[in-house]
Amino acid sequence: MKVKKLLQIGALIVVTVFITTSSMVSLPANAADKVYRMKIQSAFPRGDLSMELLKDFAAAAKKRSNGQINITVFADPELVPGEQLFEATKKGTLDMLHAVSAMWGGIVPVSEVEFGLPYAFNLPGKPDVYKSAEIIRSFFLDTGFAELLREEYAKQDLYWLDVHSYGPLFTMSTKEIKTCDDLKGLKIRVEGSWSDYYNTLGASGTFISGMEAYMGLKLGTINASQWDVSAVTGLKWHEVAPYRIIGGQNDVVPGQILVNKKKWDSLPDDLKKALSGAAEDYFHALNKVYEGELKKVDELVKAGKVKNSPIDDACDKKHEEAAKKLWDTIGKRDPAAAKAINIIKDWRKTLK
């Protein structure tokens, strides 16, 4: 009788331990404890400032989410080639991408407008890099522009998270450019609609990977290349293309972070807020770094290692005329692009 009772007590203890252990194992499934592991890849190589600072974005996301969002950062082409980023994120192979939107212009036409059509983000008074970035971010978030982008990217199973700035556009050339005649015949590596822009001005716009630009400039397969300040301070293009073209450029190069829509939708609201907050933190961190990088360029100019090459007024006027015609052309391609351009036109009327 005692043996039977002892066996019953033993069985009860085993069942209790099993239930307790099972409950403990299931706890991480609760929203308050679940860790979301995510991968983000940049379209830019190691050495590019914005790519390197994605570690700060990941750290901010982890801090704001109390450790529930854990992001691993990759550069181009560590997981997929840059041209496959869009498709990989759409399918969920990657959770997020970091890039300039002009890369997807053939898929999402409004993305060419998002990147910044020539002269669209050319700001009067030429405010400093931080103020310029804040003006453009306010434009995105306060005019309905961001909502339009989210609608269009949702059609591709992507969520547009936020905008950040790479500072002013840099176009580094192997030769001095003063007039539009100097542009004729030049092969310029550019993004998106800027190819048509330079074609109109007598140059030849083309695209190659940023990884290949240094060697292309050195060998003469291209004569100039478009990037941000990292062209000089990170990628050292001035070693083979010392002339910085001044004029006909935008004062802000907007970047984007896109999230796989299913991944975004799977996040609880508090973690969506944390990820959005981390993107805003990244915006501010990047601006601070770019302020310092532009000062480095000023020092290189003083040392004669970077040579500013401003275009004359007549050529600048031709650039503006070419840009406005291009806006009309792109607006005819797609209803969302047309709506985006109209938002820009209305916004530019408010600039002083």
70-97 pLDDT, tens digit per residue, is: 999 999 999 999 989 999 999 999 999 9
- Asked if residue 105 and residue 230 are part of one domain, the reply reads no
- Specify the number of domains making up the chain: 2
Confidence check: pLDDT of 286 > 90: yes
- Asked if residue 267 and residue 143 are part of one domain, the reply reads yes
- Asked if residue 326 and residue 229 are part of one domain, the reply reads yes
Containing domain of residue 240, as a range?
170-250+301-348
Query: Looking at the domain assignment, is residue 227 inside a domain?
Result: yes
- Asked if residue 54 and residue 120 are part of one domain, the reply reads yes
pLDDT of residue 352: 78
- Asked if residue 145 and residue 272 are part of one domain, the reply reads yes
- Asked if residue 274 and residue 284 are part of one domain, the reply reads yes
- Asked if residue 149 and residue 55 are part of one domain, the reply reads yes
- Asked if residue 225 and residue 130 are part of one domain, the reply reads no
- Residue-wise pLDDT for 201-255, tens only, equals 999 999 888 779 999 999 999 999 999 898 999 889 999 999 999 999 999 999 9
Q: Which of 213, 186, 197, 201 is nearest to 105 (CA)?
A: 197
- Asked if residue 160 and residue 78 are part of one domain, the reply reads yes
Query: Looking at the domain assignment, is residue 186 inside a domain?
Result: yes
